[in-house]
Amino acid sequence: MDKDELKNEYRERVAIHQRRVGYFFDANTMVFFKSRVHDIKPLEKEIFFITSERFADSRRYSIRVLRENGNIDEVSKFQEYSSLRQARKELGESIHSLLTG
């Protein structure tokens, strides 16, 4: 999947999520939780991504998967990582282990 195809597929799944479930990607929700989406990565039929939320004085990171049906599941524990670097490393390792079984 090239970069443009990934963007389109990601947007399509976000739209499905918003129609079915609702608020995860809603602009007001993102502002309230000071959320950001980082590093969108496809793997077979799934799209993995990193999110971050800022509470108090720190920003923490989680790895999630956006499924074809618009559902979002946690891959890591919520806010498991204290740095984007740690989350990126774990995302790469998770994808590698899924590919190599």
User: Torsion angle of alpha carbons 95, 50, 39, 55, nearest 10°?
Assistant: -160
pLDDT in tens, 20-34: 877 888 899 999 999
Backbone phi, psi, residue 18, to 5°: -65, -35
Residue 10 CA, distance from chain mean position: 10
The yes-or-no verdict on residue 1 having pLDDT over 90 is: no
pLDDT in tens, 2-59: 888 888 888 998 899 898 877 888 899 999 999 999 999 988 888 999 999 998 889 9
**pLDDT score at 21:** 75
d(CA 23, CA 100): 34
- Residue whose tokens read 């108090």: 56
Which whole number is the average pLDDT over 73-80?
94
Q: Band of the pLDDT at 101, cuts 50, 70, 90?
A: low
Q: Which helix (DSSP H) or strand (DSSP E) does residue 21 occupy?
A: none
- Residue whose tokens read 């990582």: 81
